[in-house]
Structure 1
Amino acid sequence: MKRFWIAAAVSLALVGGCSSTPEKKSDAVPVPQGFDVPAGVTLTKGGTTLTEDKPASVIYQVGTKATSAITVTVSAVRKGSIKEDFTFFSLDDETKAATPFYVDITVTNEGPAGLGGAALPIFAHDSSNTNLPANDIVGTLLPCQNSTLPKSFLPGATAKLCLVYLVPKGRALQSVDLQTGSAKDAITWTP
Protein backbone atom coordinates (compact mmCIF):
# COMPACT_ATOMS: atom_id res chain seq x y z
CA MET A 1 0.00 0.00 0.00
CA LYS A 2 2.90 2.39 0.81
CA ARG A 3 4.35 1.87 -2.67
CA PHE A 4 1.00 2.83 -4.23
CA TRP A 5 0.91 6.17 -2.34
CA ILE A 6 4.52 6.95 -3.20
CA ALA A 7 3.90 6.12 -6.86
CA ALA A 8 0.75 8.25 -6.87
CA ALA A 9 2.58 11.19 -5.27
CA VAL A 10 5.42 10.95 -7.80
CA SER A 11 2.90 10.76 -10.69
CA LEU A 12 1.07 13.87 -9.44
CA ALA A 13 4.35 15.76 -9.05
CA LEU A 14 5.36 14.86 -12.59
CA VAL A 15 1.97 15.88 -14.03
CA GLY A 16 2.06 19.15 -12.11
CA GLY A 17 5.57 19.87 -13.38
CA CYS A 18 4.70 19.19 -17.02
CA SER A 19 2.93 22.43 -17.81
CA SER A 20 3.54 24.59 -20.82
CA THR A 21 5.61 27.74 -20.62
CA PRO A 22 3.71 30.32 -18.55
CA GLU A 23 2.10 33.08 -20.57
CA LYS A 24 3.82 36.43 -20.35
CA LYS A 25 1.66 39.23 -19.07
CA SER A 26 1.50 42.06 -21.53
CA ASP A 27 2.10 45.62 -20.41
CA ALA A 28 0.44 46.84 -23.57
CA VAL A 29 -2.70 48.91 -23.15
CA PRO A 30 -5.68 47.38 -24.97
CA VAL A 31 -6.67 49.33 -28.07
CA PRO A 32 -10.10 48.92 -29.69
CA GLN A 33 -10.03 47.16 -33.04
CA GLY A 34 -9.66 49.64 -35.87
CA PHE A 35 -8.40 52.47 -33.63
CA ASP A 36 -4.98 53.92 -34.40
CA VAL A 37 -3.29 55.64 -31.47
CA PRO A 38 -2.22 59.10 -32.67
CA ALA A 39 1.50 59.59 -33.29
CA GLY A 40 3.38 60.81 -30.24
CA VAL A 41 0.74 59.57 -27.76
CA THR A 42 1.72 56.93 -25.21
CA LEU A 43 -1.27 55.38 -23.49
CA THR A 44 -1.21 55.09 -19.69
CA LYS A 45 -1.63 51.57 -18.32
CA GLY A 46 -4.85 50.95 -16.39
CA GLY A 47 -4.42 50.82 -12.64
CA THR A 48 -1.70 53.49 -12.64
CA THR A 49 -1.58 55.87 -9.65
CA LEU A 50 -0.34 59.39 -10.26
CA THR A 51 0.22 62.57 -8.30
CA GLU A 52 -1.11 66.00 -9.21
CA ASP A 53 0.31 67.54 -12.41
CA LYS A 54 1.15 64.13 -13.91
CA PRO A 55 -0.72 63.46 -17.19
CA ALA A 56 -2.47 60.27 -18.27
CA SER A 57 -3.42 59.41 -21.85
CA VAL A 58 -6.33 57.06 -22.52
CA ILE A 59 -8.71 56.07 -25.28
CA TYR A 60 -12.13 57.54 -24.61
CA GLN A 61 -15.14 56.11 -26.41
CA VAL A 62 -18.35 58.14 -26.20
CA GLY A 63 -21.05 55.54 -26.80
CA THR A 64 -21.10 54.72 -30.50
CA LYS A 65 -20.57 58.34 -31.52
CA ALA A 66 -16.85 58.98 -31.21
CA THR A 67 -13.57 57.47 -30.07
CA SER A 68 -10.53 59.60 -29.41
CA ALA A 69 -7.35 59.62 -27.37
CA ILE A 70 -7.35 62.18 -24.58
CA THR A 71 -4.68 63.36 -22.17
CA VAL A 72 -5.93 64.36 -18.72
CA THR A 73 -3.96 66.14 -16.03
CA VAL A 74 -5.31 66.77 -12.53
CA SER A 75 -3.60 69.98 -11.53
CA ALA A 76 -5.24 70.58 -8.15
CA VAL A 77 -7.74 69.14 -5.70
CA ARG A 78 -9.13 71.90 -3.47
CA LYS A 79 -11.32 71.44 -0.40
CA GLY A 80 -14.21 73.90 -0.29
CA SER A 81 -16.82 74.97 2.23
CA ILE A 82 -20.56 74.37 1.87
CA LYS A 83 -21.29 77.28 4.23
CA GLU A 84 -19.13 79.80 2.35
CA ASP A 85 -19.23 78.58 -1.26
CA PHE A 86 -22.89 77.51 -1.51
CA THR A 87 -24.46 80.48 0.30
CA PHE A 88 -26.92 81.25 -2.50
CA PHE A 89 -27.85 77.64 -3.30
CA SER A 90 -30.91 75.79 -2.01
CA LEU A 91 -29.57 72.55 -0.48
CA ASP A 92 -31.14 69.62 1.34
CA ASP A 93 -29.85 68.62 4.80
CA GLU A 94 -27.65 65.78 3.47
CA THR A 95 -25.94 68.09 0.98
CA LYS A 96 -25.47 70.78 3.64
CA ALA A 97 -23.46 68.21 5.66
CA ALA A 98 -21.24 67.20 2.70
CA THR A 99 -17.73 68.48 1.99
CA PRO A 100 -17.18 70.01 -1.45
CA PHE A 101 -14.00 69.29 -3.40
CA TYR A 102 -13.02 71.17 -6.54
CA VAL A 103 -10.85 69.29 -9.02
CA ASP A 104 -8.97 71.37 -11.59
CA ILE A 105 -8.13 69.40 -14.72
CA THR A 106 -6.71 70.00 -18.16
CA VAL A 107 -7.94 67.83 -21.03
CA THR A 108 -6.36 67.61 -24.49
CA ASN A 109 -8.11 65.87 -27.35
CA GLU A 110 -5.32 63.96 -29.10
CA GLY A 111 -7.66 62.78 -31.86
CA PRO A 112 -8.92 61.59 -34.18
CA ALA A 113 -12.58 62.37 -33.24
CA GLY A 114 -14.28 65.47 -31.91
CA LEU A 115 -15.62 65.16 -28.36
CA GLY A 116 -17.62 68.37 -28.04
CA GLY A 117 -19.95 68.43 -25.03
CA ALA A 118 -18.99 64.93 -23.84
CA ALA A 119 -19.06 64.23 -20.10
CA LEU A 120 -15.75 62.92 -18.80
CA PRO A 121 -15.65 59.67 -16.78
CA ILE A 122 -13.83 61.23 -13.83
CA PHE A 123 -14.97 60.26 -10.33
CA ALA A 124 -14.14 61.11 -6.73
CA HIS A 125 -13.29 57.87 -4.92
CA ASP A 126 -14.14 58.13 -1.23
CA SER A 127 -13.22 56.22 1.93
CA SER A 128 -16.34 54.01 1.67
CA ASN A 129 -14.99 52.66 -1.66
CA THR A 130 -17.65 54.60 -3.60
CA ASN A 131 -17.11 56.42 -6.88
CA LEU A 132 -18.95 59.73 -6.84
CA PRO A 133 -19.77 61.42 -10.17
CA ALA A 134 -19.14 65.12 -10.62
CA ASN A 135 -22.10 67.23 -9.48
CA ASP A 136 -24.02 69.29 -11.99
CA ILE A 137 -24.22 72.83 -10.69
CA VAL A 138 -27.10 75.02 -11.84
CA GLY A 139 -25.95 78.59 -11.54
CA THR A 140 -22.53 80.08 -10.91
CA LEU A 141 -20.24 78.61 -8.28
CA LEU A 142 -17.39 81.09 -7.98
CA PRO A 143 -14.64 78.73 -6.72
CA CYS A 144 -15.25 76.24 -9.55
CA GLN A 145 -16.55 77.16 -12.99
CA ASN A 146 -16.47 75.60 -16.45
CA SER A 147 -17.28 71.95 -15.74
CA THR A 148 -18.02 70.68 -19.26
CA LEU A 149 -16.06 70.25 -22.44
CA PRO A 150 -16.71 72.96 -25.04
CA LYS A 151 -19.40 72.25 -27.65
CA SER A 152 -16.63 72.03 -30.21
CA PHE A 153 -13.71 70.00 -28.89
CA LEU A 154 -11.80 68.91 -31.97
CA PRO A 155 -8.44 67.09 -32.15
CA GLY A 156 -5.65 69.33 -30.87
CA ALA A 157 -7.99 71.32 -28.59
CA THR A 158 -7.24 71.77 -24.89
CA ALA A 159 -9.73 72.71 -22.18
CA LYS A 160 -9.29 73.67 -18.53
CA LEU A 161 -12.17 72.41 -16.41
CA CYS A 162 -13.18 72.40 -12.76
CA LEU A 163 -15.32 69.52 -11.48
CA VAL A 164 -17.33 69.69 -8.24
CA TYR A 165 -17.69 66.65 -5.98
CA LEU A 166 -19.77 66.60 -2.80
CA VAL A 167 -18.34 63.96 -0.48
CA PRO A 168 -20.94 62.83 2.10
CA LYS A 169 -20.44 63.51 5.79
CA GLY A 170 -18.21 60.96 7.51
CA ARG A 171 -16.30 60.05 4.35
CA ALA A 172 -12.94 61.24 3.05
CA LEU A 173 -11.72 61.80 -0.49
CA GLN A 174 -9.16 59.09 -1.36
CA SER A 175 -8.45 59.75 -5.04
CA VAL A 176 -9.70 61.20 -8.31
CA ASP A 177 -10.27 58.39 -10.81
CA LEU A 178 -10.36 58.47 -14.61
CA GLN A 179 -12.40 55.40 -15.48
CA THR A 180 -12.83 54.62 -19.19
CA GLY A 181 -13.21 50.88 -18.54
CA SER A 182 -13.60 48.82 -15.39
CA ALA A 183 -12.98 50.20 -11.90
CA LYS A 184 -9.82 48.09 -11.48
CA ASP A 185 -8.36 49.70 -14.61
CA ALA A 186 -9.04 53.26 -13.44
CA ILE A 187 -6.16 55.71 -13.46
CA THR A 188 -6.03 57.50 -10.13
CA TRP A 189 -4.58 60.74 -8.84
CA THR A 190 -3.98 60.97 -5.10
CA PRO A 191 -4.31 64.45 -3.62
Structure 2
Amino acid sequence: MTRSTTRPARAAAALAATALALVTAACSSSDPAPAEATPTAATPRGFDVPAGVTITPGGTRLAVGSPATVVYEVEGATSAVTVTVTKVEAGSMDDFRFFSLDAATKKSSPYYVRATVTNDGPAGLGGTSLPLFALDSTTTNVPANDIVGTFKPCPTRALPASFLPGATARLCLVYLLPEGRTLRSINLQTGTTADAIAWKP
Protein backbone atom coordinates (compact mmCIF):
# COMPACT_ATOMS: atom_id res chain seq x y z
CA MET A 1 0.00 0.00 0.00
CA THR A 2 1.54 3.36 -0.99
CA ARG A 3 1.35 6.75 0.71
CA SER A 4 -1.01 9.25 -0.88
CA THR A 5 -1.90 12.83 0.00
CA THR A 6 -5.48 12.60 -1.32
CA ARG A 7 -8.44 12.14 1.01
CA PRO A 8 -9.97 9.21 -0.96
CA ALA A 9 -6.74 7.24 -0.57
CA ARG A 10 -6.67 7.90 3.17
CA ALA A 11 -10.31 6.82 3.42
CA ALA A 12 -9.55 3.61 1.53
CA ALA A 13 -6.63 2.89 3.83
CA ALA A 14 -8.85 3.42 6.87
CA LEU A 15 -11.48 1.08 5.46
CA ALA A 16 -8.85 -1.59 4.78
CA ALA A 17 -7.44 -1.16 8.27
CA THR A 18 -10.88 -1.61 9.83
CA ALA A 19 -11.49 -4.77 7.82
CA LEU A 20 -8.11 -6.19 8.78
CA ALA A 21 -8.65 -5.47 12.46
CA LEU A 22 -12.09 -7.09 12.45
CA VAL A 23 -10.91 -10.23 10.68
CA THR A 24 -7.86 -10.51 12.90
CA ALA A 25 -10.02 -10.34 16.01
CA ALA A 26 -12.84 -12.58 14.85
CA CYS A 27 -11.49 -15.33 12.65
CA SER A 28 -8.74 -17.17 14.52
CA SER A 29 -10.05 -20.54 15.64
CA SER A 30 -8.52 -23.05 17.98
CA ASP A 31 -8.55 -26.53 16.53
CA PRO A 32 -6.28 -29.30 17.80
CA ALA A 33 -3.81 -30.49 15.20
CA PRO A 34 -3.27 -34.20 14.58
CA ALA A 35 -0.05 -35.69 15.88
CA GLU A 36 1.48 -38.12 13.41
CA ALA A 37 -1.85 -38.57 11.61
CA THR A 38 -2.23 -41.72 9.57
CA PRO A 39 -2.90 -40.87 5.90
CA THR A 40 -6.48 -41.66 4.91
CA ALA A 41 -8.60 -41.40 1.79
CA ALA A 42 -10.17 -37.95 1.42
CA THR A 43 -12.60 -38.38 -1.49
CA PRO A 44 -16.29 -37.62 -0.83
CA ARG A 45 -18.72 -40.42 -1.51
CA GLY A 46 -20.16 -40.17 -5.01
CA PHE A 47 -17.38 -37.97 -6.40
CA ASP A 48 -15.77 -39.28 -9.58
CA VAL A 49 -12.11 -38.36 -9.60
CA PRO A 50 -11.14 -37.04 -13.05
CA ALA A 51 -9.08 -39.37 -15.23
CA GLY A 52 -5.36 -39.06 -14.60
CA VAL A 53 -5.82 -37.34 -11.23
CA THR A 54 -4.58 -38.93 -8.00
CA ILE A 55 -5.91 -37.64 -4.69
CA THR A 56 -3.30 -37.07 -1.98
CA PRO A 57 -4.10 -39.05 1.19
CA GLY A 58 -5.31 -36.97 4.10
CA GLY A 59 -2.71 -36.41 6.80
CA THR A 60 0.16 -36.19 4.32
CA ARG A 61 3.12 -33.98 5.33
CA LEU A 62 5.01 -32.20 2.56
CA ALA A 63 7.97 -29.93 2.02
CA VAL A 64 7.35 -26.47 0.57
CA GLY A 65 7.33 -26.80 -3.21
CA SER A 66 5.61 -30.20 -3.29
CA PRO A 67 2.06 -30.48 -4.72
CA ALA A 68 -1.02 -32.04 -3.16
CA THR A 69 -4.33 -32.84 -4.83
CA VAL A 70 -7.56 -32.73 -2.83
CA VAL A 71 -11.29 -32.62 -3.48
CA TYR A 72 -12.69 -29.22 -2.61
CA GLU A 73 -16.41 -28.80 -1.98
CA VAL A 74 -18.01 -25.36 -1.99
CA GLU A 75 -21.65 -24.42 -2.21
CA GLY A 76 -22.96 -25.78 -5.50
CA ALA A 77 -19.62 -27.14 -6.77
CA THR A 78 -17.13 -29.94 -6.10
CA SER A 79 -13.82 -30.20 -7.90
CA ALA A 80 -10.36 -31.68 -7.56
CA VAL A 81 -7.63 -29.08 -7.10
CA THR A 82 -3.86 -29.39 -7.01
CA VAL A 83 -2.25 -27.00 -4.54
CA THR A 84 1.45 -26.25 -4.15
CA VAL A 85 2.68 -24.03 -1.34
CA THR A 86 5.66 -22.48 -3.11
CA LYS A 87 7.00 -20.02 -0.54
CA VAL A 88 6.55 -19.14 3.12
CA GLU A 89 8.25 -15.95 4.26
CA ALA A 90 8.21 -13.83 7.38
CA GLY A 91 6.87 -10.34 6.78
CA SER A 92 7.29 -7.14 8.73
CA MET A 93 4.74 -5.17 10.72
CA ASP A 94 6.21 -2.11 8.98
CA ASP A 95 4.21 -3.29 5.97
CA PHE A 96 1.05 -2.49 7.98
CA ARG A 97 2.09 1.00 9.06
CA PHE A 98 -0.86 2.61 7.25
CA PHE A 99 -3.36 0.32 8.98
CA SER A 100 -5.14 1.29 12.17
CA LEU A 101 -4.41 -1.76 14.34
CA ASP A 102 -5.02 -2.42 18.01
CA ALA A 103 -2.10 -2.84 20.39
CA ALA A 104 -2.21 -6.64 20.37
CA THR A 105 -2.30 -6.89 16.59
CA LYS A 106 0.69 -4.55 16.28
CA LYS A 107 2.73 -7.18 18.13
CA SER A 108 1.81 -9.95 15.66
CA SER A 109 4.25 -11.85 13.48
CA PRO A 110 3.15 -11.59 9.83
CA TYR A 111 3.73 -14.37 7.30
CA TYR A 112 3.18 -14.28 3.55
CA VAL A 113 2.36 -17.60 1.92
CA ARG A 114 2.47 -18.05 -1.84
CA ALA A 115 0.71 -20.94 -3.52
CA THR A 116 -0.28 -22.14 -6.98
CA VAL A 117 -3.65 -23.79 -7.55
CA THR A 118 -4.81 -25.82 -10.54
CA ASN A 119 -8.44 -26.77 -11.04
CA ASP A 120 -8.42 -30.43 -12.13
CA GLY A 121 -12.20 -30.49 -12.61
CA PRO A 122 -14.97 -31.11 -13.13
CA ALA A 123 -16.52 -27.92 -11.64
CA GLY A 124 -15.66 -24.24 -11.73
CA LEU A 125 -14.52 -22.65 -8.46
CA GLY A 126 -14.42 -18.97 -9.34
CA GLY A 127 -14.08 -16.42 -6.56
CA THR A 128 -13.65 -18.90 -3.72
CA SER A 129 -10.95 -18.87 -1.05
CA LEU A 130 -8.86 -21.93 -0.28
CA PRO A 131 -9.07 -23.40 3.23
CA LEU A 132 -5.35 -22.82 3.86
CA PHE A 133 -4.51 -22.18 7.51
CA ALA A 134 -1.37 -21.28 9.42
CA LEU A 135 -0.97 -23.78 12.24
CA ASP A 136 0.84 -22.08 15.11
CA SER A 137 2.78 -23.34 18.12
CA THR A 138 -0.40 -23.48 20.23
CA THR A 139 -2.03 -25.81 17.64
CA THR A 140 -4.39 -23.01 16.61
CA ASN A 141 -5.48 -22.83 12.97
CA VAL A 142 -5.10 -19.16 11.99
CA PRO A 143 -7.03 -18.22 8.81
CA ALA A 144 -5.68 -15.89 6.17
CA ASN A 145 -6.54 -12.24 6.76
CA ASP A 146 -9.06 -10.69 4.41
CA ILE A 147 -7.62 -7.31 3.47
CA VAL A 148 -9.75 -4.81 1.59
CA GLY A 149 -7.99 -3.11 -1.28
CA THR A 150 -4.49 -3.71 -2.64
CA PHE A 151 -1.81 -4.89 -0.22
CA LYS A 152 1.35 -4.68 -2.28
CA PRO A 153 3.56 -7.16 -0.35
CA CYS A 154 0.98 -9.96 -0.76
CA PRO A 155 -1.95 -9.01 -2.98
CA THR A 156 -4.07 -12.00 -4.05
CA ARG A 157 -6.11 -14.11 -1.61
CA ALA A 158 -9.08 -15.49 -3.59
CA LEU A 159 -9.25 -17.51 -6.77
CA PRO A 160 -10.13 -15.61 -9.97
CA ALA A 161 -13.80 -14.88 -10.64
CA SER A 162 -13.63 -17.43 -13.44
CA PHE A 163 -11.66 -20.52 -12.43
CA LEU A 164 -12.71 -23.31 -14.74
CA PRO A 165 -11.22 -26.82 -15.07
CA GLY A 166 -7.68 -26.62 -16.43
CA ALA A 167 -7.06 -23.11 -15.05
CA THR A 168 -4.11 -22.29 -12.78
CA ALA A 169 -3.89 -19.36 -10.36
CA ARG A 170 -1.17 -17.92 -8.13
CA LEU A 171 -2.21 -16.74 -4.69
CA CYS A 172 -0.54 -14.90 -1.84
CA LEU A 173 -2.09 -15.07 1.61
CA VAL A 174 -1.40 -12.97 4.73
CA TYR A 175 -1.35 -14.49 8.21
CA LEU A 176 -0.89 -12.55 11.44
CA LEU A 177 0.23 -14.83 14.26
CA PRO A 178 -0.36 -13.50 17.77
CA GLU A 179 2.62 -12.39 19.84
CA GLY A 180 4.75 -15.21 21.19
CA ARG A 181 3.53 -17.84 18.73
CA THR A 182 5.57 -19.45 15.96
CA LEU A 183 4.56 -21.04 12.68
CA ARG A 184 4.47 -24.84 12.61
CA SER A 185 2.99 -25.54 9.18
CA ILE A 186 0.62 -24.37 6.46
CA ASN A 187 -2.40 -26.68 6.42
CA LEU A 188 -4.85 -27.32 3.59
CA GLN A 189 -7.97 -28.50 5.40
CA THR A 190 -10.91 -29.50 3.23
CA GLY A 191 -12.32 -31.88 5.87
CA THR A 192 -11.24 -32.73 9.40
CA THR A 193 -7.95 -31.75 11.04
CA ALA A 194 -6.81 -35.37 10.70
CA ASP A 195 -7.26 -35.15 6.92
CA ALA A 196 -5.36 -31.87 6.52
CA ILE A 197 -2.37 -31.71 4.19
CA ALA A 198 0.53 -29.89 5.87
CA TRP A 199 3.53 -28.08 4.40
CA LYS A 200 6.34 -27.52 6.89
CA PRO A 201 8.38 -24.38 6.15
TM over 0.5: yes
Corresponding pairs, count? 164
- The normalised TM-score by structure 1 is 0.83
Q: Please, which of 52, 65, 70 is the counterpart of residue 53 of structure 1?
A: 65
Letter in 2 for 1:73: T
Q: Could you say if the C-alpha distance between residues 27 and 148 of structure 1 is closer, same or farther in structure 2, counting changes exceeding 3 Å?
A: closer
**Distance in 1 between the 2:102 and 2:149 partners?**
17
2:147 matches 1:148 = no
Cα deviation for residue 185 of structure 1 reads 1.1
Q: Could you say if the C-alpha distance between residues 27 and 75 of structure 1 is closer, same or farther in structure 2, counting changes exceeding 3 Å?
A: closer
2:69 matches 1:69 = no
In structure 2, the residue matched to 1:88 is 98
In structure 1, the residue matched to 2:118 is 108
Q: Please, which of 126, 129, 132 is the counterpart of residue 122 of structure 1?
A: 132
- The normalised TM-score by structure 2 is 0.79
Q: Which runs of 5+ in 2 are unaligned?
A: 1-37
Report the aligned-residue RMSD: 1.4
**Distance in 2 between the 1:28 and 1:76 partners?**
26
**Distance in 2 between the 1:188 and 1:28 partners?**
14
- Seq. identity, %: 62
Is the Cα–Cα contact under 8 Å of residues 126 and 132 in structure 1 kept in the other structure? yes
Is the Cα–Cα contact under 8 Å of residues 128 and 159 in structure 2 kept in the other structure? yes
SS in 2 for 1:156: coil
Cα deviation for residue 33 of structure 1 reads 2.8
Is the Cα–Cα contact under 8 Å of residues 28 and 45 in structure 1 kept in the other structure? yes
Q: Please, which of 13, 23, 37 is the counterpart of residue 49 of structure 2?
A: 37
**Which residues of 2 match residues 4-43 of structure 1 at below 5 A?**
29-43=41-55
Is the Cα–Cα contact under 8 Å of residues 42 and 71 in structure 2 kept in the other structure? no
2:190 matches 1:183 = no
Q: Which runs of 5+ in 1 are unaligned?
A: 1-25
In structure 1, the residue matched to 2:173 is 163
Q: Deviations over 1:61-119 (max 9, x none)?
A: 003x100000000000010011x211211111111000100000000000000000112
Q: Could you say if the C-alpha distance between residues 30 and 139 of structure 1 is closer, same or farther in structure 2, counting changes exceeding 3 Å?
A: closer
Letter in 1 for 2:166: G
In structure 1, the residue matched to 2:142 is 132
Runs of 4 or more consecutive aligned structure 1 residues displaced over 6 Å after TM superposition: none
